Structure 1
Amino acid sequence: MKLTSEKLLGIIWDDRFRDISFSHHMIRDISKERIRRFIEIARRKLQFVEIKPELASLDDLLEIHSKDYVNRLKEVSALPYSGYLDGGDTIHYPGIFEDVLLVLGASKTALKFSSYLDFIYVPLGGFHHATYSRPMGFCPINDVAYLVFQLLKRKEKVAIIDVDAHHGNGLQEYLYDKPVLKINIFAYDGKFFPGTGRVEERGEGEGKWLNYNFPLPLSSGDDVFEIALRILDIVEEYDPSYIVVISGVDGHKDDGLKSLELTCNSYNLLGLKVRRLAKSAKVIGYGGGGYGKMSSECMVSFLVGLSGKKEELETPTISNTENIKKAKETLSLLLSFPQHFT
């Protein structure tokens, strides 16, 4: 593929990704199809360097999860049948341990190649619900936490943009007291899964004032999402050396886990915004969640935006006046909070 002086995109890809899903049995096939269609569309529409991921090691896994939990993953992987790791969301199946190491290895590889490329994207990644000792919400591990810890070891200044239909509770738990700017935009009505992400949660210790939660009213459309994206201007002031983005597309209006009314246009806008904010920063992005017929298109549209191109694949959605009002109030509140960036 011809390379230019433009910023270069690398996509971490292994054909094994086509058959990996940790989602509930009812949407597992949809989840796999999203990844399969993504790479086909991406190869048609984008210029990128395709990078094969390495396998992570057991020691890598133990950096982010307890020994007891890692042993459990190994045990269920050896079973001849599938089941659930948690209360009925996150699946286990024969050979899951090897797949987990491949998924975690994608983050390890992304970090390595970020020395040479401006943007790295991991389509099968962004498992932000898992905590140190347990899985949650289709997430058997927390690959993003692993990446961020490695960046902190290298003394990088990190900002996280976590956009998904669901609050990244596990990632917040890992990094709440860490010197990392964390901005989470998600759907919430007081009880929507995972039931976390209060605006008042601002971080503690070295992470004090660095945690921002922006809950969107359920059924919000593209216009509300655009309002929420204004909070990302904080990233520019923070001036990170790395921006880690979870661009989960499960907020699309046709997603199976109904929550928001977004179109692919919103994800394109997110990509454009991240590109503008990046300046000299490296960007490592993750595909996050997505369980609908337009999920693959939304993933690619994010990358189209990241490449600097605006596209409008669908008719923009319009929110009711109450949702617009709530979003503006939340933005005003978050921007009024103290900022102590150094």
Structure 2
Amino acid sequence: MTLKTGFICDESYFWHDTGNGALCLRPGGWVESDVHSENPATKRRVKNLLERSGFIKELKPIEPRTATREEIELNHVSSYIDKVKELSDTTGGDAGDIAIVGTGSYEIACLSAGGALTGVDAVMNGDVQNVYALTRPPGHHAEMEIGMGFCLFNNVAIAAKYARKKYGLKRIMIVDWDVHHGNGTENAFYDDPEVLFVSLHQEFNFPPDRGLTQHTGEGDGRGYNINIPLPAGTGNAGYLYAFEKIIEPIAEQFKPELVLVSAGQDPSPFDPLAQMMVTAEGFGKIAAIAKNIAERHCGGRLVVCHEGGYSSAYVPFCTLRVIESISGLKSKVEEDPYQMVIDGLPSDVLAKHQKEAIDQIAKHHSEFWGLMVK
């Protein structure tokens, strides 16, 4: 019997309260109150589309457990965890650089991290073929000692350290396609050769001065940190070229025992916090490559954790295509309803400057990984 794709979600994820805002700012001064970018609808509407289309019936629902304090401490210092809990238990506040804690957010953040851990257990125990975890709050910006960029606890970093501790894994690959650099995950493994971290992101976006090509790791971890900063305006063709020229050849050599993905659907053309052009179909294609890497090297063990994506209208369709790809099934949503809007965009065109940028990145990593560069 073919195993299903697991789907992890919990209503509590939508109750993490980021309050009012305008994009990523709190209202005040000249900033009029609006809906905060990281609001529940950006995730809830994913689940709504899965249910409305009936595709959720093709998935195996898995209830997330709450990560323990000890598990959160695999990646975060005790004083920072205490700070998040104190803010959560009182009036809320900021746990770092735009890392909003609402009342009750501590328990939800522990459940979000626990969703990633639940996903790891499900694939390692062979209960499902792979997992999509619709977790919230996101995690990839969260550093060991401070929150950042809407992230409180680093779900994927905790999951990687948990997988290594519980299952004795020696080669874990993390692919982060969120449009913003996964600084927290990078720092968690910067000197660690057992975790290969790959981040595709828009260059010069958030956080500033992070995710540069020359940031390749240090000590024993040198070479195992792969940053792919892409020019603004990069679409499907550029992302697929980066996977072909850099990510797949490196994965072929690294041979991961588990693949984790930080899936931010914010490189889309409709995202208010980015300037990229990956369409829903494009997300489906890059997810298929991630699945293929897992199938080639680790029996298909793949856990995809939701990160950013701030177009509440378009994120559901991008995420649906991701889940379709990793499940190998098609939903009733045959066409992208926004296709008529994006038809004029060069999403499937690899511009000369984009190709040159990716080739230069590949050349930078060729010394360590022996990539074929013309």
TM-score computed with the length of structure 2 as normaliser: 0.82
Q: Does the CA-based 8 Å contact 2:133-2:304 persist in structure 1?
A: yes
**How much has 1:319 moved relative to structure 2?**
5.6
Query: Paired residue for 1:83, among 85, 93, 118?
Result: 93
Q: Is the aligned partner of 1:169 residue 2:189?
A: no
Secondary structure of 1:224's match? helix
How much is the aligned-residue C-alpha RMSD, in angstroms? Answer: 2.2
Counterpart in the other structure of 1:321: 352
Q: Does the CA-based 8 Å contact 1:23-1:138 persist in structure 2?
A: no
Query: Paired residue for 2:42, among 1, 26, 34?
Result: 34
**How much has 1:97 moved relative to structure 2?**
1.4
CA-to-partner distance for each residue in 1:244-277, whole Å, 9 max, x for gaps?
0112111111001122122112210111111211
Counterpart in the other structure of 1:155: 168
Counterpart in the other structure of 2:21: 25
**How much has 1:102 moved relative to structure 2?**
1.3
Using the alignment, how far apart are the partners of 1:300 and 1:195 within structure 2?
A: 32
**How much has 1:7 moved relative to structure 2?**
4.2
The range that moved more, 173-182 or 230-239, is 230-239
Using the alignment, how far apart are the partners of 2:18 and 2:113 within structure 1?
A: 14
Counterpart in the other structure of 1:6: 2
Counterpart in the other structure of 1:143: 155
Using the alignment, how far apart are the partners of 2:319 and 2:19 within structure 1?
A: 18
**How much has 1:194 moved relative to structure 2?**
3.9
Q: Is the aligned partner of 1:186 residue 2:196?
A: no
Task: Classify 1:281/1:306 alpha carbon distance in 2 versus 1 (closer, same or farther; 3 Å).
Answer: closer
Q: Structure 2: where are the runs of 5+ without partners?
A: 23-34
The range that moved more, 150-159 or 201-210, is 201-210
> AA paired with 1:98?
E
Secondary structure of 1:152's match? helix
Counterpart in the other structure of 2:287: 271
Secondary structure of 1:290's match? coil
Q: Is the aligned partner of 1:333 residue 2:364?
A: yes
Counterpart in the other structure of 2:119: 110
Counterpart in the other structure of 2:214: 200
Identity level (%): 24
**How much has 1:91 moved relative to structure 2?**
1.1
**How much has 1:132 moved relative to structure 2?**
0.9
Task: Classify 1:6/1:337 alpha carbon distance in 2 versus 1 (closer, same or farther; 3 Å).
Answer: farther
Q: Is the aligned partner of 1:307 residue 2:321?
A: no
Any residues of structure 2 matched to 1:246-265 within 5 Å, and which? 246-265=262-281
Any residues of structure 2 matched to 1:25-64 within 5 Å, and which? 25-26=21-22, 27-28=35-36, 31-43=39-51, 44-46=54-56, 47-64=58-75
**How much has 1:198 moved relative to structure 2?**
1.6
Q: Does the CA-based 8 Å contact 1:272-1:309 persist in structure 2?
A: no
> AA paired with 2:195?
V
> AA paired with 2:290?
V
Q: Does the CA-based 8 Å contact 1:167-1:194 persist in structure 2?
A: no
Secondary structure of 2:6's match? strand
Secondary structure of 1:214's match? strand
**How much has 1:30 moved relative to structure 2?**
5.9
Task: Classify 1:324/1:64 alpha carbon distance in 2 versus 1 (closer, same or farther; 3 Å).
Answer: same
CA-to-partner distance for each residue in 1:158-202, whole Å, 9 max, x for gaps?
11111111111110101111211111111013x643430121222
**How much has 1:10 moved relative to structure 2?**
0.5
Any residues of structure 2 matched to 1:206-217 within 5 Å, and which? 206-217=220-231
TM-score computed with the length of structure 1 as normaliser: 0.89
Q: Does the CA-based 8 Å contact 2:100-2:150 persist in structure 1?
A: yes
Task: Classify 1:133/1:24 alpha carbon distance in 2 versus 1 (closer, same or farther; 3 Å).
Answer: farther
Secondary structure of 2:369's match? coil
> AA paired with 1:133?
E
Using the alignment, how far apart are the partners of 2:159 and 2:351 within structure 1?
A: 38
Secondary structure of 1:50's match? strand
Using the alignment, how far apart are the partners of 1:110 and 1:194 within structure 2?
A: 31
Secondary structure of 1:213's match? strand
Using the alignment, how far apart are the partners of 1:30 and 1:65 within structure 2?
A: 22
Counterpart in the other structure of 1:283: 302
- How many residues of Structure 1 are paired with residues of Structure 2 in the alignment? 332
> AA paired with 2:72?
L
Using the alignment, how far apart are the partners of 1:333 and 1:23 within structure 2?
A: 43
Using the alignment, how far apart are the partners of 1:33 and 1:294 within structure 2?
A: 11
Q: Structure 1: where are the runs of 5+ without partners?
A: none
Any residues of structure 2 matched to 1:121-136 within 5 Å, and which? 121-125=132-136, 126-136=138-148
The range that moved more, 251-260 or 203-212, is 203-212
**How much has 1:144 moved relative to structure 2?**
1.1
Q: Does the CA-based 8 Å contact 1:253-1:263 persist in structure 2?
A: yes
CA-to-partner distance for each residue in 1:100-159, whole Å, 9 max, x for gaps?
221122122222222121201111155111111100011011111111111222221211
Secondary structure of 1:255's match? coil
